Amino acid sequence: AQSVAQPEDQVNVAEGNPLTVKCTYSVSGNPYLFWYVQYPNRGLQFLLKYITGDNLVKGSYGFEAEFNKSQTSFHLKKPSALVSDSALYFCAVRYSGAGSYQLTFGKGTKLSVIP
C-alpha cells in the first residue's frame, strides 16, 4: 500500500519569508511525486512533479520541491512567500511500476501568508 503524510494541518508564514510545506511518503518501489494547490471553491492545480533524476524540482509560481529518498520526503519550498500563495496544498504519490493507477493524496496543508 502507498501513503502520504503531511504532518502540518496549517503553516503560517510572513510575506517575504521562505516557506516549507512538508510531505513524507511510503510506496513499494520508485515513486512519482506530485504537489497540487487548491484555491477556495476550485479544483486542484498541478504545481510540480518528481519522476527521476535531479532531486530538486522546479515548478509553477516559483515553487520548488526537494526529493530525499533516504528520508522518503518531498518537501515543497519557496524562497519568498506571497500573500497570493495562501491556499491548500496537497502532496500525492503514485507507484511508478506496473499495476494500479491509484494516486494517493495527503490530507492537505493550509498555507497562510501573513502580510
Instruction: Return residues touching other proteins (CB under 8 A).
Output: 4, 32, 34, 36, 41-46, 49, 51, 90, 94-96, 101-103, 105-108
When the beta carbons of 101 and 115 are compared against other proteins, the nearer one is 101
**Dist. CA 108–CA 89, nearest whole Å:** 5
When the beta carbons of 53 and 115 are compared against other proteins, the nearer one is 53
Output the smallest distance, CB 86 to other proteins, in A.
18
Per-residue b/e over 38-70, b at no fewer than 16 CB within 10 Å?
eeeeeebeebbbbeeeeeebebeeebbbbbeee
Contact indicator for 19, 89 with CB cutoff of 8 Å: no
Output the smallest distance, CB 97 to other proteins, in A.
8
When the beta carbons of 22 and 49 are compared against other proteins, the nearer one is 49
Cell of 90: 496537497
Output the smallest distance, CB 47 to other proteins, in A.
9
Output the smallest distance, CB 93 to other proteins, in A.
11
When the beta carbons of 41 and 70 are compared against other proteins, the nearer one is 41
**Dist. CA 12–CA 84, nearest whole Å:** 13
Q: Which of 80, 72, 74, 71 is nearest to 92 (CA)?
A: 74
